Amino acid sequence: MVTLTLAAALPPGLIDEVDGRWAERTPKNRTAIAREIAAQLEPHKSEFEAAWRLARSYVWIADESPYYQGTRARFELGGKAMGVAKEAIRLQPNRVEGHYYYAWAVGQWSLGISIAKALWEGAESKYTGALKKVDQLDRSYDQYGALRMWGRYFHSLPWPKRDRAKSARYLKKSVKKSPTNLRSFTYLAETLIGQGKHGEACALVERALKIRGDAAKEPDWDLWRRELARLKASGCKTLLENL
């Protein structure tokens, strides 16, 4: 006898409720709300509108710690996010959300096991393939988030794949397109530091520290502001993971 386990159908109004709560995130409650939403959506992950939102919740929870910390959580949550984002892609391959959060999830998972090991296990084609699809469908999604992801990708690759000149080009576009997004500024500052352009990095950090992040779009702006302050304190000469 075969027993089938069926996912619960989406209750009427659940997605509207989830979107309303997501819009209420602030620097103080962002992770609590993401966890709350993940619990609500988990029983409905075979439905597209639940699946991509669940993947989004997982990657945001994983991002609560700076990128160079919390590797176990990134590995576990990144893997879970990859699974539900892949389901979203299967259900609606021409919608951007599944591809976008799949790329983000691969990035989290890769940080969790180390970039070098992730490359060995085939993460690169998964990440770049998803981002290429985002570029085709809607590059402006999530404040031009694909630009940030491409820029960070070319910064983070190990030598000889690393290309910080290409990283800087993507991230300068990202800063221009999303001028209050402090994650973009932090990523660009680190790329410039990696290029040895310490003066340019410091000027960028000073500029970014005068910006108050838009909590409606970037409820973790406070985390990135702290990271920018750490870069400034180092004289913009050291990458965050080495401070």
- Specify the CATH class of 142-243 in words: mainly alpha
What does the pLDDT look like over 92-104, one tens digit per residue? 999 999 999 999 9
Tracing tokens 């939403």 back to the chain, one arrives at: 37
Say which residues have a Cβ less than 8 Å from residue 154's Cβ, sequence separation at least 6: 162, 163, 164, 166, 167, 170
Mean pLDDT computed over 183-212:
97
Which of 94, 98, 99 shows the shortest CA–CA distance to 127?
Answer: 99
Mean pLDDT computed over 220-235:
96
Would the CATH topology of 17-138 be identical to that of 142-243? yes
**Token digits of residue 187:** 């990523």
Mean pLDDT computed over 169-173:
98
Mean pLDDT computed over 187-200:
98
Say which residues have a Cβ less than 8 Å from residue 56's Cβ, sequence separation at least 6: 97, 101
Mean pLDDT computed over 118-142:
96
All structural domains of the chain with their residue ranges: 17-138, 142-243
CB 173 within 8 A of CB 147: yes
- Classified by CATH at the fold level, domain 17-138 comes out as 1.25.40
Mean pLDDT for all residues in the chain: 94
pLDDT on residue 2 = 39
pLDDT on residue 5 = 43
User: CB count, 10 Å around CB of 143?
Assistant: 18
Lowest mean pLDDT among 63-72, 154-163, 208-217: 63-72
pLDDT on residue 183 = 96
Of 168 and 71, more confident: 168
What does the pLDDT look like over 3-16, one tens digit per residue? 444 456 889 999 99
pLDDT on residue 4 = 40
Mean pLDDT computed over 94-117:
96
Mean pLDDT computed over 151-173:
96
Quickly state the pLDDT bin for 173 (edges 50, 70, 90).
Answer: very high
Residue 58: exposure state from Cβ atoms within 10 A (0-12, 13-18, ≥19): buried
pLDDT on residue 7 = 55
CB 63 within 8 A of CB 235: no
